[in-house]
Structure formats: structure tokens, C-alpha cells
Amino acid sequence: MYNSKIIGLGYYVPENVVTNNDLKEFMDTSDEWIQERTGIKERRWIDTSTEDTTAVMGAKAARIAIDRAGISKDDIDFIVFATLSPDMYFPGGGVQVQDILEMPTIGALDVRNQCSGFIYAMSVADQFIKTGMYKNILVIGSENHSGGLEKSTRGRNVSVIFGDGAGAAVLSRCSDEEKAAGKGILSSHLHSEGKHAKELALEGPSTKRWVPEIIAANNPDDVSYYPYMNGQFVFKHAVGRFSEAIIEGLQANNLKKEAIDMLIPHQANLRIAQFIQKKFQLSDDKVHNNIHKYGNTTAASVIIALTEAWELGKIKDNDLVVLAAFGSGFTWGSVIIRW
């Protein structure tokens, strides 16, 4: 068995900054309400006059990650693409990135695990590298939320939270020396609880509620094609599941919470991240948050935050890095990395 490691990181966010005050143009809200409840000050929303889409942003982040990995796009053996907001119903974003980057006929797989998408995608890539099936895997998380949010007072509890953006990592095989030194991805732990699927969901359009049916009904009160979130229910479950996933990862590696050098929590809500930070008694320099700038970018959130922390020099050789996420499904998980 091989160990896998991250050899390249990149992220891309659209230029268009939407502040909390900007949102007042569409809905009854306030900067105070949003900051107090979520920690968000602004987010990026795609300007529709630009070329940006979920796949295009994913490709932009991927180019940076591949470049920093010091390899060529032709050295990539497989693509794993995580999103809940693909450009097309089918095919998925993986093949679109493959096309944009003019990559050879390697396999491309899409992962649909919402806010835990990048954790799931990394875990999938890790398994392929561990077995020796692939050497270099491009893992992408990208979301275009802004196109599908209900930007009105009715949709405000959801629409103020979500932002657009993309991140990418190139995973590769550790050398024998690195493996002997205990480096690379140490473990990943994945969970889900489908009985709560409807608590954070977008039900239509889907094969159960197809477009012609929605059009024929012509019902202005129909909100099934906007995301629904039972905020307090999600919040309660998130704090518990985040903690469980981190504890599970630490225990699997015989590590204590004091061993954590950097925690990258999915940027769901600053209050959730602060709760976790307090629970694990981590100092501010051991947790990286950027929700104030980007909001919740779902499958892109963990990888944007990881890339940013790395760019800021907050992650050093041999650091124990913990990634954790929770989201719609419900799904949750963690990845433990010795950098």
C-alpha cells in the first residue's frame, strides 16, 4: 500500500464581491444580523457577464494546483470533482474540466456530497492512490450557488449564507521515505444519515419533480426549486457531527487533540467553527476560517480554506492537519494529514 499526499493546491473565487449591505437591495436583512448569526461579511457571486461557471472556476483552480505541483496536466491519472451545483444536470463537472484543460482520456468521477463533498472526494482519491491504481489525482470542489438562490426576503435565511468559488488539490504518492516518516493522508472517515435528507435540500427540478411539471403548475408560491434549510436543526447536528468526525480521526491514529497543528473546518457558520475550536481547546493560530470573506462555498469551502492557510504559511512540514466537514444528506467526515 502507498500513502498519498498533497503536492499542489489552488483556489479561485469570482471577482464580484457582494457585501451584506449589498444584499439589502433584494431582501429585508442587515449586516448586523448576518454577521452576528454567521460571521459572514461578504461573499463572491459570479457576475453572469463573465465566463465563470462551476466547471470553469474548477478548471481555474485546477490549473493553479497542477502548476504548483510541478507536473503537467498530462501527468494526471484521474479526476474527482465535487459539487452540488454542476453546470449541467448531466454529464458532471469532471468531464467538463477535462475538456477545458484539454486533458487525455483519463477517468473523471463526480462526487455529490454537498458540504462534505471535498472530504469525500479526497477520500476517494486517497483509496485509488493507496492501492497503486493511480499516481496523480486531481481533486476539485467547485460551486456556483448564486445562480440558484432565492434572492428575496422569503429566501434570506439560505441566500445570505452561500457564496461561489472553487478549490483544487493534486494528490500523489508519497515516497518510501515519506511513508516511513508517517507523512501523507493518515486516514479519512465518512458518514451519512439519510433520514435527515430533507432538512437541507433542493427537491426540484428532479426526476420526481420535473421541469415541465413545475412550469405547468406556474405556482409563484412553489419554492421546491430553491434550497431549503432547517437552520437550527442543521446547526445542532453540525456541532455534534463535526466533533465526532474529528475525534474519530484522532482516535484512529492514536492522537490527542493537543496534536492538532491546524484545523480546517468546513466554513458553514463561524459560530459552528468557534464551538469546535473551543471544544478542542485550540488557539486561534490552529484554526483557519475565511467565511467572513467567502461565505459557505459548500464543496469548495474546505479546499479554499486549506489552500489559503497554506499560502499564508500557516501549515508547515510535519504539521498535523485536520479537515472536517458536515452538510446536506446529512453527510460528514474528516481527513487527517501529516503534512
CA angle 292, 201, 49 (to 5 degrees): 55
296 is a catalytic site residue = yes
Nearest-angstrom CA–CA distance, 107 and 109? 7
174 is a catalytic site residue = no
Catalytic residue among 266, 269, 288, 290: 266
Q: 10 Å Cβ neighbour count for 209? A: 14
- Minimal distance, residue 38 CB to ligand COA, in Å: 5
Residue 187 found at the interface with ligand COA (CB under 6 A): no
Nearest-angstrom CA–CA distance, 300 and 306? 10
Residue 33 found at the interface with ligand COA (CB under 6 A): yes
Show the site string, 126-165: x = touches ligand COA by CB under 6 A, - = not: ------------------------------xx--x-----
The type of residue at 302 is V
Closest C-alpha among 37, 239, 17 to residue 158: 37
Q: Is residue 11 within 8 Å of 118, Cβ to Cβ?
A: no
Q: 10 Å Cβ neighbour count for 105? A: 6
Nearest-angstrom CA–CA distance, 190 and 324? 10
- Minimal distance, residue 29 CB to ligand COA, in Å: 3
Nearest-angstrom CA–CA distance, 143 and 167? 9
Per CB under 6 A, the list member of 4, 98, 113, 296 interacting with ligand COA is: 296
144 is a catalytic site residue = no
In the bound state with ligand COA, the residue whose beta carbon lies nearer, of 184 and 265, is: 265
> Residues 69 to 128: which contact ligand COA by CB under 6 A?
115
Residue 268 found at the interface with ligand COA (CB under 6 A): yes
Residue 231 found at the interface with ligand COA (CB under 6 A): yes
258-294: burial string, b at 16+ Cβ within 10 Å, e else: eebbbbbbbbbbbbbbebbbeebebeeebbbbbbebb
- Minimal distance, residue 170 CB to ligand COA, in Å: 26
Ramachandran category for residue 108: left, alpha or beta (phi over 0 → left; psi -120 to 50 → alpha)? beta
In the bound state with ligand COA, the residue whose beta carbon lies nearer, of 127 and 230, is: 230
Residue 29 found at the interface with ligand COA (CB under 6 A): yes
- Minimal distance, residue 21 CB to ligand COA, in Å: 12
DSSP 96-127: HHHHHTT--S-EEEEE--GGGHHHHHHHHHHH
- Minimal distance, residue 192 CB to ligand COA, in Å: 13
Catalytic residue among 20, 115, 144, 289: 115
In the bound state with ligand COA, the residue whose beta carbon lies nearer, of 275 and 280, is: 275
Nearest-angstrom CA–CA distance, 305 and 83? 16
Residue 37 found at the interface with ligand COA (CB under 6 A): yes
Residue 228 found at the interface with ligand COA (CB under 6 A): no
Q: Which one of 44-52, 254-262, 266-274, 306-314 is the stretch in contact with ligand COA (CB under 6 A)?
A: 266-274
Provide the annotated active-site residues: 115, 266, 296
Residues lying near ligand COA in the complex (CB under 6 A): 29, 33-34, 37-38, 115, 156-157, 160, 229, 231-232, 234-235, 238, 268-269, 272, 296, 326-327
